[in-house]
Amino acid sequence: MNQRQETSLTVTRKAIFWKPCRRMTAMLWSLLFVIQFFIIGIFIYQGSFKNYVYVQLSKYQKVNEEHFDSTLENCLIRDTSEPAPKPKCPVISPYLIGYRKPVMDDEIHLVETLQKYRYAQCGGQFRPSNCEARQKAALLVPFRDRQEHLKIFINHMHPFLMRQQLEYKIYIIDLDKEIRFNRGVLLNVGFLEASKEADFDCYFLHDVDLLPEHDHNLYRCSELPRHMSVAVDKFNYRLPYLTNFGGVSAMTKDQILFVNGFSNKFSGWGGEDDDLYNRLIFHNMTVLRSMPDVSRYIMLKHDQSPPNAERFKLLRTGMERVMQDGIKNLKYKISNRTDYLLFTYINISF
């Protein structure tokens, strides 16, 4: 091969090699060109998605305001007139917003809460104005010396329950100072006093320091007693033990009467909820629980009360007393009852 031939061969080789290579480079550039449009498109889409979420939220906010504002006739006791017939509220309320971190600010003032939730201002009761609630609930909250928790609780629970389109009333039940705290007695009293006032479908046995975080945690009763506070932050959002029935639970009037309510004997901290669980099992009932991702609660911080040393003995012998000890044999006096605007306060003595 002579010099010329060799050069032309190299050129041809180069051409063979570079031609597709150039084509590939061109293709790559066009691909990048197209991808760039995709990326810009995604950014624009995300922006409008954010706007979309924002619009959705403000729409809900508006709906909520309208919903609360049109509820002037919700004073169940003072309003003696027959309510106008309304359609049943939907099974799932359109006002639910899912997870919402509870406001636990020390700066909550009940005066501001009052202004916000002015349509729940007859002893803390509410009913939706535009539809008939599917259930009427009484929130029974045992109480002692926890003013700072009470205002956070009240501020949180009103909008939470309103968004669920419930008809409800909040009862705070307290014992005279010199009597040892007794959660079982207070809840029994709450049940008896609330039942005198209205025919509630559901009673919530509710600690003041527990705030539901997710409003798909529907405050409704079922055909079996329900344990609501399945996942509490204090217990790492896990059930502390399988038979736990404390914190927040929901029972119908029939279910409470069937087991004779709580035992009245558990003074001090602990055991009364375990005894109630034993009562349910004793009466062949089981307990329902919803999914932990929805049944989430935050527990407000407090010092641990001294546990009742007697509780294990009482628990062992509990089912021997179940027929007498409870709602049936409870005697109490009401030493103070005040219908505050956002809750009804009942103080008892013996």
272 forms part of the interface with Mn ion (CB under 5 A): no
Cα dist. 233→213, 238, 239, 240, 272 in Å?
Answer: 10, 8, 10, 11, 22
Cβ-Cβ contacts under 8 Å for 180 (sequence gap 6 or more): 267, 268
> Near ligand BGC by CB under 6 A, which window of 210-218, 248-256, 268-276, 333-341?
268-276
167 forms part of the interface with Mn ion (CB under 5 A): no
> Near ligand BGC by CB under 6 A, which window of 38-46, 107-115, 134-142, 265-273?
265-273
CB of 45 to ligand BGC, least distance (A): 48
246 forms part of the interface with ligand BGC (CB under 6 A): yes
- Cα–Cα dist 270/246, whole Å: 9
Binder among 184, 212, 271, 318 for ligand BGC (CB under 6 A): 271
The dihedrals phi and psi of 347, each to the nearest 5 degrees, come to -115, 130
CB-based contact 275:315 (threshold 8 Å)? yes
Partner touching 159 among Mn ion, ligand BGC, none, CB below 5 to 8 Å by kind? none
> Side chain identity at 157, as an amino acid letter?
M
Partner touching 273 among Mn ion, ligand BGC, none, CB below 5 to 8 Å by kind? ligand BGC
Chain centre to alpha carbon of residue 216: 7
CB of 327 to ligand BGC, least distance (A): 19
Pair type for strands 226-227 and 202-206: unpaired
CB of 106 to ligand BGC, least distance (A): 25
Cβ distance to Mn ion smaller for residue 205 or 327: 205
Cβ distance to ligand BGC smaller for residue 124 or 271: 271
**Which of 183, 181, 203 lies closest to 192, judged by CA?**
203
Q: How far does the chain reach from its first CA to its final CA, in angstroms?
A: 122
- Cα–Cα dist 232/306, whole Å: 21
Contact characters 196-215, Mn ion, x per CB under 5 A: -------------x------
Cβ distance to Mn ion smaller for residue 287 or 299: 299
CB of 152 to Mn ion, least distance (A): 13
CB of 309 to Mn ion, least distance (A): 19
Cβ distance to ligand BGC smaller for residue 155 or 308: 308
Partner touching 270 among ligand BGC, Mn ion, none, CB below 5 to 8 Å by kind? ligand BGC
Pinpoint the alpha helices (H) of 75-146.
110-116
Handedness of CA 115, 133, 338, 182 (dihedral sign): negative
270 forms part of the interface with ligand BGC (CB under 6 A): yes
> Side chain identity at 61, as an amino acid letter?
Q
Handedness of CA 237, 238, 241, 247 (dihedral sign): positive
274 forms part of the interface with ligand BGC (CB under 6 A): yes
**DSSP bridge pairs for 51:** none
> Near ligand BGC by CB under 6 A, which window of 147-155, 254-262, 267-275, 278-286?
267-275
Binder among 124, 273, 325, 348 for ligand BGC (CB under 6 A): 273
102 forms part of the interface with ligand BGC (CB under 6 A): no
Contact set with Mn ion (CB under 5 A): 209
Contact set with ligand BGC (CB under 6 A): 240, 246, 270-271, 273-274
